[in-house]
Amino acid sequence: MNNLSVANTATHKAFDVKAIRRDFPILSQQVNGKPLVYLDNGASAQKPLAVLDAMDRYYREMHSNVHRGAHTLGDRATAAFEGARETVRSFLNAGSTQEIIWTRGTTEAINLVANGLAPRLKAGDEILVSHMEHHANIVPWQMLAERTGAKVVPIQVTPQGELDLESFNSLLNDRTRVLAITHVSNVLGTINPVADMVKQAKVRGIITLLDGAQAVPHFQPDVQALDCDFYVFSSHKLFGPTGIGVLYGKAALLEEMPPYQGGGEMIERVSFERTTWNTLPYKFEAGTPAIAEAVGLGAAIEYLNGFDREAMEAAENALLERANQLVETVPGMAIIGTAKSKVPVMSFKIKGLHPSDIGTLLDQQGIAIRTGHHCAMPLMDFYGVPGTARASFAFYNTLDEVDQLFTALQKVQRLFA
């Protein structure tokens, strides 16, 4: 599915989806009298017991503020908090924990970078994004452009849902200052050729940011191999808790950037004459952090490290393959996004049916999907649709659940026909 996975040296468990599902208690419930089929993983993935237990243990046994407590609980909390940072560093293959910044999520991470790059931009400069970006990787750059006089320029996509690389190549020029691109599309599932794009950008000295929110649940990126300047993702899509995310940034750039917020941990010394900033990564972590959430994210990554990622990717590919095979069983169904390289995300429409009606009727059958514009209005405009229905799969989903989805879609189509 991709060639950017980092080999995991841990002892792997056999990939047994039935056993894996027992690790996710929420999956065993019924919804509207039907067994839950959870296919909204692209919006937020479910949490294994390892994550729930780690956060519970933190609150029961070690809760304290971190870094400056002169007592045992403070030491325990700090060790767990910074241990989670090391877990993230290893997951991304970053060079140092100084390059791992805790944020509230992908959105805040992008805003932090956009704010920090403001001194580098001036009127006439250009920021490259794409037509398949999530709003979180469009709006912060538009706000930056308004402040600096720069311009946001979109890379085109093809009807199949792949980046138009001719468009990309034609847009690179001496005015380009930033390339901010999604690693994986949240609507299309497309895996973009980001390594080659970053390489081309670096030749021109362009700052690069990769939105990895939809990538990290499906494969393990290597930021040093990618050589991107920034990489961002959210915990809750990676089977961890909500309310925390990660910004990886090259240390030299982070050192140059001004703080994003002021107060608390980000200071070295404060006086009314002058305040100096803390060292990395704390320079960007103002106030009491999301300690339990960091611990939970670390536990999620450690849980994933217990499996063979290649086996997980193969299982997810099988889910998407089965779904693609069944499309023709639903009259009027059409897939939005047919890229050759995809994660298991299927956005679709059914002739004569509104996406929200599809979602509501599937929910009555216990099946959870997402409907609407998926925070990607420019992409919806490109395809000429108000929104789509989207089924997004995870490694704990089963082929039987794929079959249940299409049986339910057939019922919905017959009802409206």
Q: What is the model's pTM?
A: 0.95
76 & 224 share domain:
yes
DSSP helix/strand/coil, 192: coil
Q: Are residues 81 and 29 in the same domain?
A: no
Task: Specify if 1 maps to a domain.
Answer: no
In a domain, 287, yes or no: yes
149 with 28, same domain: the answer is no
Asked whether residue 7 carries a pLDDT value surpassing 70, the answer given is no
Based on the domain organization, do 250 and 120 belong to the same domain? yes
Sign of CA dihedral 94, 99, 105, 109: negative
pLDDT > 70? residue 333: yes
User: Are 155 and 201 found together in one domain?
Assistant: yes
Do 121 and 179 have their domain in common? yes
Same domain, 315 and 295: no
281 and 179, same domain (yes or no): yes
Q: Per the domain annotation, does 358 fall within a domain?
A: yes
Question: Whole domain around residue 33: which residue ranges?
Answer: 17-41+308-415
* pLDDT class of 3 with cuts at 50, 70, 90: very low
Residues 6+ apart with CB under 8 A from 386: 355, 373, 380
Report the alpha-carbon distance of residue 323 to residue 408 in Å, rounded.
13
Tally Cβ neighbours within 10 Å of residue 143.
15
| Residues marked as catalytic | 375
Q: Considering the domain boundaries, does residue 11 fall inside one? A: no
**Boundary (domain end) residue, out of 288, 305, 322:** 305
Residue 34 and residue 61 in one domain: no
Q: What is the CA radius of gyration of the chain?
A: 22
Tokens representing 240 are 């961890």
Domain count across the chain: 2
pLDDT of 6 over the 50 cut: no
In a domain, 2, yes or no: no
Confidence of residue 13 (pLDDT cuts 50, 70, 90): low
403 vs 271, 298, 327, 400, CA distance in Å? 65, 34, 11, 5
Residues 6 or more apart in contact with residue 390 via CB below 8 angstroms: 40, 42, 187, 345, 346, 347, 348, 369, 370, 371, 374
Q: Is the pLDDT of residue 74 over 80?
A: yes
At 128, give phi and psi (nearest 5°): -90, 125
Instruction: Tell me if residue 134 falls in helix, strand or coil.
Output: coil
Confidence of residue 12 (pLDDT cuts 50, 70, 90): low
Which CATH number does the domain housing residue 63 bear? 3.40.640.10
State how far the alpha carbon of 22 is from the alpha carbons of 18, 48, 168, 242, 381, in Å: 7, 9, 45, 21, 41
Within this chain, do residues 298 and 316 fall inside the same structural domain, yes or no?
no
Q: Which contiguous run of DSSP H or E holds residue 248?
A: strand 245-249
Residue in this structure with the two tokens 């901010």, named with its chain if needed: 180
Once rounded to an integer, what is the mean pLDDT over residues 129-156?
98
Segment 286-291 mean pLDDT: 95
Summary mean pLDDT of the chain: 95
Same domain, yes or no: 110 and 259 = yes
- ω into 281 cis (within 30 of 0): yes
pLDDT tens by residue, 98-114: 999 999 999 999 999 99
**Which of 92-96, 226-230, 306-310, 391-395 shows the lowest mean pLDDT across its residues?**
306-310
* Cβ pair 45, 239 in contact under 8 A: yes
Q: Which two tokens stand for residue 233?
A: 């993702």
Q: Answer with the one of 265, 285, 305 that is the final residue of a domain.
A: 305
Question: Would 10 be classed as within a structural domain?
Answer: no
Residue 47 inside a domain? The answer is no
Indicate the residue among 255, 272, 305 that finishes a domain. Answer: 305
Average pLDDT, integer, range 314-336: 97
Residues 375 and 237 in one domain: no
**Is the sign of the CA dihedral 399, 401, 404, 406 positive or negative?**
negative
Exposure on the CB side of residue 159, measured as CA atoms within 13 A: 2
Contacts of 252 (CB under 8 A, 6+ apart): none
pLDDT per residue as tens digits for the range 177-222: 999 999 999 999 999 999 999 999 999 999 999 999 999 999 999 9
Give, to the nearest 10 degrees, the angle between helix 72-92 and helix 49-61. 150
Checking if the pLDDT of 15 tops 90, the result is no
**How far is residue 186's CA from residue 346's CA, in Å, rounded to a whole number?**
10
Q: 213: how many CB neighbours lie within 10 A of its CB?
A: 28
pLDDT at 10 over 90: no
C-alpha to C-alpha distance for 293 and 340, rounded to whole angstroms: 36
CA count, 13 A, side-chain hemisphere, 357: 11
Decide if 136 is inside a domain: yes
Domain of 386, CATH number, reads 3.90.1150.10
